[in-house]
Structure 1
């Protein structure tokens, strides 16, 4: 086994592990304990902001370590699931994700409360204030200029300390996920979600995904996070995609810990091809239960597909486009310019829905004379009925006729198992 490295970054966050390493459970537990022991948390209330089931992350290990370090020290411990606008997690899903028997939360994590982010309930939120339009114009580099009410789940504000606990991956909206993104959009109100996602869509997924450093969307998120009155810390991890193993863990404030983890993720979760491919078979794991989340299997592959090529999303288990966003069934999937150049028709649709639409359709153009011309074809081989798929402006392939082995052997198809977390780029 590779010797584990640990230390402190120039910005002050602590780091254990690295791109070529795999940490043991004992190393992770010890690291978490050391970091939390060194913090002034006695007699304070703590809100842990954690991912939902769509991320590879050994949450039982991490939460057990955090709980072990904080139980008896803090006055209140709450774990808040950062759903964004994903479907809520029921008891069975929460138990599986957090590693306890159904009904056995108190036995596994005595004294800890677990909450879904109830984004559909207005009483969930408290306003932190308004970011004015002039500042939005600066942060977005001139792409948008409107004020936004920054609303956040009140559970974060009603605790003394908020600790983000979760993984960092290349991300289609912000560049790399994690850090303050767990607040915005993770447990945020609709307005800031829509604004941040539409900003990412204007830049385009293929342009921003896997971009290191402070992208315009990350700058907006950090601006909003600075308004949170609670102390903000982060335990960021870089997971081995599809497994419970960790390459690295970082701890510190939400910006420096995120940056250190993103540096590792940029080496472990970005792979390079020498030449573009004409067809991709993107095999979607079952943790993605609809296209709204499973579309990551397109985002992470679009950059390596040749003009005129095709991405086949293979997910027989997926039977719906979205459980929580019916608007997508009406507008379908289109490139950015389809909406921007017909803005009077679409400006009232949630911008987060428009953003998702453009992310899955990919790069393209639209004008009144020629209509929409998309760079690549997107085909769904899922359990969604053909008429629904075609109405959404996507191609259809009957999943029962798809032979993965034949695609692997044809010499023309790039087959990607467990798609959705590793980003592929051209050198």
Structure 2
């Protein structure tokens, strides 16, 4: 049979014998909400765990709205006008509203990209800025966590009476699920704070993708308490990136309610584990910093706790991404020792965030055989991180070679790998 997967804006295919192919793990299509604006309004009128915005905000307040960046599919440009209309009705002045794009550790968005992200009319009317995670002059110290970690965040985020976060709910390799407080942490935290958090998370030796009880999220939410997030709006999109549900309210309680909805939209039951999973990194496929989310999703369909092969198909248009050092760390086996040494006071030599993410991914590399099919990264780069590389034109060869590693190999595929929640029957 012929199996077709997204490769950025294109489609690529491979063939496999019918008796070897188990399933295309795509969630059952959920139709979008019949009226986008009405669904957002409904969520705003019935927040989970907080009063309505109209009960929280007065006309003299300064309001910061924190939104995710262009690496996420959240329909920010359609949500913002609805939220801003509410603020206008309350009487909040335009000059008291700032829209902050939470970059985490991603590159700054250009003026054109910002305008496209929030909408031309919103960009022309309100102040829209990128967050800053590296420049110490633009960060503010907010205190320490319970285990003594300094918390820094983008200064502009704190210059408000009310903070509203807007994001989307999808499975996440570390947090279990995105959304909620993640828009602040790591969204607008300082680089050292983000790095420390990821370093701690890298010591977990398990795949937390889709785990709604992720201990890393629990830790993160304790840190968000220090920054303060008053209200969220989170969406659930189907595999066509159409909005099915929206939730609003408290960054913990509303996020949890949204995750339960997202599981039904993005979830797909694994009925039989296989030897080889071929997964598209779509829609998080702009670089190799993002596209391995597909690997985390795919692992849940492989046999056992180790062994098996994941074949990631992704264009990686922007190459390796913003933290190229993580490739070398992913290829090492002593990451835990390096991370623990940093915690014990050893100097951090290099990009701490790259060390953390590379250490997390190295554990998957040691559990599974990893193959990358992409024209956006090179064989030399993939050799550094312990992945076998094929150009996209050789997808069929990549699948055939992977199957050849196992007697009577069985194969499955995932076409929306970065956002599909695979769970066991």
Normalising by the residue count of structure 2, what TM-score does the alignment of the two structures yield? 0.79
Quote the Cα distance in structure 2 between the aligned partners of 1:256 and 1:396: 42
Residue equivalent to 1:31:
42
- Other structure's SS at 1:97 match: helix
Q: CA deviation digits over 1:184-221, x for unaligned, max 9?
A: 11100123212222232222351x222224x4322322
Aligned CA distance change for structure 1 residues 70 and 420 (closer, same or farther; 3 Å) = same
Quote the Cα distance in structure 2 between the aligned partners of 1:88 and 1:359: 25
- Other structure's SS at 1:277 match: coil
Residue equivalent to 2:115:
95
User: What runs of 5+ residues in structure 2 fail to find an aligned partner?
Assistant: 1-28, 46-51, 404-408
Quote the Cα distance in structure 2 between the aligned partners of 1:362 and 1:266: 26
Q: Any residues of structure 2 matched to 1:57-206 within 5 Å, and which?
A: 57-71=74-88, 73-75=91-93, 76-100=96-120, 107-108=121-122, 111-131=125-145, 135-136=146-147, 147-206=148-207
Normalising by the residue count of structure 1, what TM-score does the alignment of the two structures yield? 0.79
Matched, 1:380 2:372: yes
The answer (yes or no) to whether the contact 1:242–1:418 under 8 Å persists in 2 is no
The answer (yes or no) to whether the contact 1:332–1:357 under 8 Å persists in 2 is yes
The answer (yes or no) to whether the contact 2:281–2:417 under 8 Å persists in 1 is yes
The answer (yes or no) to whether the contact 2:114–2:123 under 8 Å persists in 1 is no
Q: For residue 223 of structure 1, report the CA deviation from its aligned partner.
A: 1.9
Quote the Cα distance in structure 2 between the aligned partners of 1:240 and 1:186: 23
Matched, 1:241 2:223: no
Aligned CA distance change for structure 1 residues 319 and 183 (closer, same or farther; 3 Å) = closer
The answer (yes or no) to whether the contact 1:56–1:241 under 8 Å persists in 2 is no
Q: CA deviation digits over 1:366-422, x for unaligned, max 9?
A: xxxxxxxx2211111112121222123211112222249988xx9843222232011
Residue equivalent to 2:23:
none
Residue equivalent to 1:352:
353
Quote the Cα distance in structure 2 between the aligned partners of 1:154 and 1:29: 29
Aligned CA distance change for structure 1 residues 344 and 261 (closer, same or farther; 3 Å) = closer
Aligned CA distance change for structure 1 residues 165 and 94 (closer, same or farther; 3 Å) = same
Matched, 1:22 2:32: yes
Quote the Cα distance in structure 2 between the aligned partners of 1:226 and 1:317: 35
User: Greater relative contact order (Cα 8 A, min sep 6): structure 1 or 2?
Assistant: 2
The answer (yes or no) to whether the contact 1:318–1:382 under 8 Å persists in 2 is no
Q: For residue 51 of structure 1, report the CA deviation from its aligned partner.
A: 0.9
Aligned residues: 372
The answer (yes or no) to whether the contact 1:128–1:227 under 8 Å persists in 2 is yes
Q: For residue 28 of structure 1, report the CA deviation from its aligned partner.
A: 2.4
Q: For residue 358 of structure 1, report the CA deviation from its aligned partner.
A: 3.4
Quote the Cα distance in structure 1 between the aligned partners of 2:412 and 2:71: 24
Residue equivalent to 1:15:
none
Quote the Cα distance in structure 1 between the aligned partners of 2:415 and 2:393: 18
Residue equivalent to 1:327:
325
Aligned CA distance change for structure 1 residues 242 and 203 (closer, same or farther; 3 Å) = farther
- Other structure's SS at 1:308 match: coil
The answer (yes or no) to whether the contact 1:170–1:423 under 8 Å persists in 2 is yes
The answer (yes or no) to whether the contact 2:44–2:248 under 8 Å persists in 1 is no
Q: CA deviation digits over 1:263-311, x for unaligned, max 9?
A: 2223322322122121122222365321001111111112222332111
Greater alpha carbon shift after TM alignment, 118-127 vs 190-199:
190-199
The answer (yes or no) to whether the contact 1:148–1:191 under 8 Å persists in 2 is no
CA RMSD of aligned residues (A): 2.8
Quote the Cα distance in structure 1 between the aligned partners of 2:364 and 2:40: 43
Residue equivalent to 1:209:
209
Q: For residue 317 of structure 1, report the CA deviation from its aligned partner.
A: 4.5
Residue equivalent to 1:10:
none
